[in-house]
Amino acid sequence: VATWPVSEDGDGPTPAAPHYRLLAGPRDGRAETLAAHRERLGPLLEALGRRQSSARIIDLVRRSGLQGRGGAGFPTAVKLDAVSKNAGLARNPVVVANGSETEPISRKDRVLLTLRPHLVLDGIEVAARAVGAQRAFLVTPWGAPEAAAAVRVALKERAAHLPGGLVPEVVTGSPAFVGGEETALLRWLEGTPPLPRFGPPRPFQRGWRGLPTLVQNVETLANLALISRFGADWFRSDGTDDEPGTTLVTVAGSATRPGVYELSIGTPLRRLLETAGWSPTSSALLLGGYFGTWVESQAALGALLSRAGVRVLGASSGAGIVQLLPEGACGLKETARLATWLALETSGQCGPCVRGLPAVAGAVSQLAQAHSVPQGLEARIGQWCDDIEGRGGCHHPNGFVNLVRSSVAVFAPELELHRRGRCSGTVTAGFPLPAHHRERR
């Protein structure tokens, strides 16, 4: 399990992370206790004001500019508002804290839940207050018993010392890659297989068991807990005007100090890479995880870590993942492995996933083989990607297309080598490829 980085003496933030907000707390890898949490931040309800209305909380969040940290960056206040309006009609809204973290490289949500469970639990309380919910779920990642244990201990502490608070039901998330998608997650919580559901109605209208449901990533909720205590101006004092706050980023692959880092949004990517012990011999990095975009390392050095900053590279930061390709690894071979895995991780409900993804993955596997690259194969892959993009019930095919397109562009020199019957690959990158969920159910 990756953890957050510490300085030489084992205490205090590293230079790349001078603004610890979410990862402030004990440095021994154990969860912050309720007593330490309250000593650091003060009690939540007093900060919130016992009579703080839904409208005032939503206005506060709107002014803070908080955007979702689960990948899409959607404005949190808009979702709170939508659920609260639907709750006014239907009552009994539900809050779901999405800590599924189904992206195999990501570690940020499990680290957050393991180290600062009370911050996430506070965020659930604030969100519930904002939308008028009496019921909540907290989803912990599959295969992360330490995160679930920290949450359960935290709930026991709250039951003993903060009676009367909202007690979320703790549920282990689905192992399926698409299982973290919000509609798939709602099905999982209803006890059925995690298949994405095509809207409308969307979860804010009819979600868990038909009730208006707010689904927020756990990092988003942790920020909500801080905003409700320290206000919108405080939140905006970090990050950029368009993307305020800090963000958690998982750095993996060929770095000497891989881990989960907290950064001001807008921090130069170079600073993160240097702090994480990046090797300049790494030719490329994958930004945004398996749905992400390959970027040449030298180009990435000049970018800022924000949605707008990486857009310049044609990339999206997704849920904050930077995977470094090790020296000696063939980017096309690595992409072929990922594409083949992703093609088997669909929910099998839509044409593009059932027919398109396996075909493209097969073609990328051909590109990855030296000696046998047919002429015009990249053009065919490009055409298929155009056909697939935007046509699924969820964003799975779009993420897949991102990965494949960027690999063909960034690894063009490698492809030329393959055409000449050679390959620069001498090692494999070791990207984690969990067993497919169908086998595990």
Question: Given the rule CB under 6 A, which residues bind ligand SF4?
Answer: 178, 196, 346-350, 353, 392-394, 396-397
Query: 238: left (phi > 0), else alpha (psi -120 to 50), else beta?
Result: beta
Number of H helices, E strands in the chain: 19, 11
Residue 178 engages ligand FMN in binding (rule: CB under 6 A): yes
Residues 88-117 that bind ligand FMN (CB under 6 A): 98, 100-102
Cα gap 61→151, rounded to integer Å: 25
Closest CB to ligand FMN among residues 150, 394 = 394
Applying CB under 6 A, does 74 fall inside the site for ligand FMN?
Answer: yes
Min dist. Cβ of residue 389 to ligand SF4 (A) = 11
Q: Dihedrals φ, ψ of 293, to 5°?
A: -130, 130
Per CB under 6 A, does 243 bind ligand FMN? no
| Binding-residue total with ligand FMN (CB under 6 A) | 21
Of these partners, ligand SF4, ligand FMN, none, which one is at the site of residue 346 (CB under 5 to 8 Å by kind)? ligand SF4
Question: Per rule CB under 6 A, is residue 69 in the interface with ligand FMN?
Answer: yes
31-37: long-range pairs with CB below 8 Å, 24+: 31/114, 31/115, 31/116, 31/117, 31/150, 31/153, 31/154, 32/115, 32/116, 32/117, 32/118, 32/119, 33/157, 34/118, 34/154, 34/157, 34/158, 34/161, 34/162, 37/116, 37/118, 37/119
**Which residue, 61 or 195, is less far from ligand SF4 as judged by CB?**
195
Q: Collect all residues with Cβ–Cβ distance below 8 Å to 4 and sequence separation of at least 6.
A: 17, 23, 111, 115, 259, 260, 261, 262
End-to-end CA distance of the chain: 24
Among ligand SF4, ligand FMN, none, the one that 71 touches (CB under a kind-dependent 5 to 8 A) is: ligand FMN
Residues 197-216 contacting ligand FMN, CB under 6 A: 215-216
Residue 168 interaction partner, one of ligand SF4, ligand FMN, none, beta carbon < 5-8 Å per kind: none
Q: Please state the φ and ψ torsions of residue 78, each to the nearest 5 degrees.
A: -65, -40
CB of 72 to ligand SF4, least distance (A): 14
Q: Which is nearer to ligand FMN, 68 or 331 (CB)?
A: 68
Question: Using CB under 6 A as the criterion, what x/- string covers residues 392-421 for binding ligand FMN?
Answer: --xxx-------------------------
Using CB under 6 A as the binding rule, whether residue 174 contacts ligand FMN is answered as no
Q: Report the C-alpha gap between 314 and 316 in whole angstroms.
A: 7
392 binds, among ligand SF4, ligand FMN, none (CB under 5 to 8 A by kind): ligand SF4
**By three-state DSSP, how is residue 373 classified?**
coil
Binding site for ligand FMN (CB under 6 A): 68-72, 74, 98, 100-102, 178, 180-182, 215-217, 220, 394-396
